[in-house]
Structure 1
Amino acid sequence: MVNGTPTSCEPFDSLSRMPRDSLTKEQIILAAVEVLDTDGVNGLNMRRLGAQLGSAATAMYYHVKSKDDLVVLAADHVFSEIELPDLGANGWREAAATLARGTHAMILRHFWLIPAMSTHLIYGLNKARYDEHCLAVYESAGFVGQDADQAAATVLMFVIGAAQGEAAESARRAQLRRTGADVERHLHETLAHIIEIAQQFPRLRARVEQPGETTDTPPTEATFEFGLRTLLDGLEGRLSTRSVGPR
């Protein structure tokens, strides 16, 4: 520092007037999750993230290599939100259901995770911790080797598929917000168009004209629970009808 002016060798960001090392990697990851939750993967960039943190875009590169690297870090972070059930206190089915529900809820909170998983290899300590516990659940049930891997992967694929519809709607809302469109008006017009198409098919038309019974459980939640119960019934059936193991 010479007469109050930073020299070229000092880690100082000339745009934000904030030392780059005053930011931490954890702060950047948490801010990235907030931006992703609002704007999705397409809305994340270093300039937007810098604005979120009150710093300059260039300061981000002091801790992360690129936007893609940051997406992977953020995705790994949100896996830490999933509660890992105590296998000693719960049967394998209850533990598997708890994991599935926790994963489903996490994906709905972070709609961008599904598109991120389609373009990025998600890995890190939190994801590894989650995968390890999933395998422990199915091994405790009696699955071994590749059967445990396949059981865990099958349930995860179901959870992702069950969350995709709501996640896609959240992603669409984020895209509309970024373009400055009237979100509710656009979604209303889209729904009207979907109903118009459905009217051309008898079974779909019947469901539009006479929706199912009203209950306290949202339809998507009821569908998720039905699918999860059916899937776990199938896995339990495999255990009871034949020996499972490496083939």
Structure 2
Amino acid sequence: MELSMVLVIIGIIIAAGFSVLPGATDTANKKATEAQLENYQHALEGFAVAQGRLPCPDTDDDGAENAGTSLARPCTAMFGHLPYRDLGLPNNYDAWGRKVYYAVHQDSTATNASVADNSGSNICTNLKTLMNTGVASQDGLMIGDFNNTTFTYNCDAGDNTTAAPYVLISAGVEDADYSAANADEVAALAELDGNNEDYSDGSTVLQRCVDNPSRVWRIANPEDGNAAANTSYDDIVVAGSFVGLISTLNCP
């Protein structure tokens, strides 16, 4: 009798261990990914110091940046994967084995300024121009915030929305909000959550709203249904700042 009770207790402990293991693994992967994104950030800013610009995103998954053909659009697209080969990195994966996304700010309207401009223009001048232009630019990269009126995360006017020179995004554990990509996006973006998978206005205008790096994870219970899943979030975002990059580059 005593032996059977011991075996039952051991079985319960083992079962509990297996139920906790995925969560513990994801926590470890989250910390590892945050460290990886920090390393990627250092590589990006090192590239900026050496080349006088940030690299364009990799849009064809060959590990290299995809540059555009005009001053207005120095990059083929403002959003893609991290161009790890141009940064001298072995890969662009997070701790879950997924490719890290990378977006860069460019303004193809009034200023034609970009932090990825390879025409020889002064990156310090472009950084200051874009910083002063703020979020009101086409091809602008925006960091959203929580709206205390609508209780949603977005980049709507009136919120604490800021512009950023670049962002790095890990899709985290899974597609936590169970969403599909918009009609104007590639299906791969469905693995992202919240604003990270959407253009800010739902069109092909390349203005990008990205969730605030401080947004906390929220994983819905599958039993709660799609309504809860829509607000689920497990992405990891790292954003550069104009002031920080200006300081790194020792701009006058």
Q: TM-score, normalized by length of structure 1?
A: 0.26
Structure of larger gyration radius: 1
Compare relative contact order (CA 8 Å, sep 6+) and give the higher one, 1 or 2. 1
Higher normalized helix content (fraction of residues): 1
Higher normalized strand content (fraction of residues): 2
